[in-house]
Amino acid sequence: MSIDKETARKVAHLARIEVKEEALEPLAGALSNILDFMEQLNEVDIEGVEPMTSVTPMALKKRKDVVTDGGYPEKILSNAPDAREGFFAVPKVVE
């Protein structure tokens, strides 16, 4: 598929990107190359290939879900600039 100068101008307008007149022709060429590459990717046979989430197979490390004695809220809140009723107090940001 080939993109012409007018289509490149329209794409730039829709993307709200200011493109100078002399840059429209190279932009049209770059967009055409992208579309050609996408068409080339559509020709690849991917039958039986499972989608990947990573290029290396690995499992995330997980910590054990165990009950502990908890944190130490008094020690933690002692460093807070403003703590009320066992919680960090922050300024109101929404009216």
Among 11-15, 53-57, 83-87, 89-93, the range of highest mean pLDDT: 11-15
SS3 state at 83: strand
Tell whether pTM > 0.75: no
Helix (H) or strand (E) segment spanning residue 84: strand 83-84
Determine contact, residues 39/1, Cβ cutoff 8 Å: yes
* Span 1-29, average pLDDT: 94
Cα dihedral 47/50/54/59 (nearest 10): -160
Name which residue leads in pLDDT, 55 or 6: 6
* Span 41-57, average pLDDT: 86
Query: DSSP labels for 21-54?
Result: GGGHHHHHHHHHHHHHHHHHHHTS--TTPPP-S-
Task: Find where tokens 């960090």 sit.
Answer: 88
Which residues make beta-bridge pairs with 88?
Answer: 83
